[in-house]
């Protein structure tokens, strides 16, 4: 039985090279038999956070929030594909995640970071680790960092040169780690209800 995985991507820029990495992750996970959906923050285009999903009266949340809340609740795990902006996280992706809280609980999350430079978005990945943990997710230890993004994947999301080969080589362990934690979470939920 496949796992339901949501891959989140958060750039709002007009020339988005990171979307290549999000597509790579989606395709490689699908190739392993997983049920994967790309959640593009720009396409969903939520307003800057004013009211969280849980703060709306029942059945009165905007349709985009209601749909996304359902998808998050039904997922077994999450992958956050994040660029690094000025040593920090992308505001579009952060805004999307902040609209929800309990919906994230008790599932594993994985971080894939990128940048135009050689540090591969490592500072954003470090920031996301704390954010996702605070939001009730278990962040797996395997991460992927890609940089420079423009020299690693083609416009179609295919690996280029040695950087692309390194990404291709690192992906199976990353995916195995995420799959292990999703299976562990599913087994625990069958054994015992979450404490809150």
DSSP character string of 130-186: HHHHHTTPEEEEEEEEE-SGGGTB-TTS-B-HHHHHHHHHHHHHHHHHHHHHHHHHH
Residue for token pair 């949340």: 61
List, for residues 162-176, the tens digit of each pLDDT value.
999 999 999 999 999
Residue 196 has pLDDT above 90, yes or no: no
pLDDT in the model for residue 7:
98
CB neighbours of residue 157 within 10 Å: 16
Joined tokens for residue 163: 């950087």
Q: Mean of the pLDDT values across residues 144-172?
A: 94
Helix (H) or strand (E) holding 22: helix 18-31
Global model pTM greater than 0.75: yes
pLDDT in the model for residue 118:
87
Q: What distance in Å separates the CA atoms of residue 28 and residue 19, rounded to the nearest whole number?
A: 14
Q: What distance in Å separates the CA atoms of residue 101 and residue 104, rounded to the nearest whole number?
A: 6
Any idea where the domains of the chain sit in the sequence?
4-191
For the domain covering 4-191, report its CATH number.
Answer: 3.40.50.360
């Amino acid at each position: 039985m496949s796992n339901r995985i949501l891959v989140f991507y958060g750039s709002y820029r007009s020339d988005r090279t990171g979307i290549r990495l999000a597509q790579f992750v989606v395709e490689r996970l699908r190739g392993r038999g997983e049920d994967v959906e790309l959640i593009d923050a720009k396409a969903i285009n939520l307003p800057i956070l004013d009211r969280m999903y849980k703060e709306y009266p029942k059945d009165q949340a905007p349709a985009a929030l209601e749909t996304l809340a359902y998808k998050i609740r039904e997922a077994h795990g999450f992958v956050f594909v994040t660029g690094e902006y000025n040593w920090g996280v992308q505001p579009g992706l952060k805004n999307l995640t902040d609209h929800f809280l309990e919906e994230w609980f008790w599932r594993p999350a994985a971080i894939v970071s990128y940048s135009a430079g050689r540090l591969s978005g490592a500072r954003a990945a470090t920031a996301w680790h704390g954010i996702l943990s605070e939001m009730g997710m278990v962040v797996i230890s395997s991460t992927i960092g890609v940089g420079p993004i423009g020299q690693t994947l083609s416009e179609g999301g295919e690996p280029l040169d040695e950087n692309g080969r390194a990404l291709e080589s690192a992906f199976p362990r990353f995916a195995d780690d995420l799959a292990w934690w999703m299976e562990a979470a599913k087994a625990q939920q069958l054994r015992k209800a979450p404490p809150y």
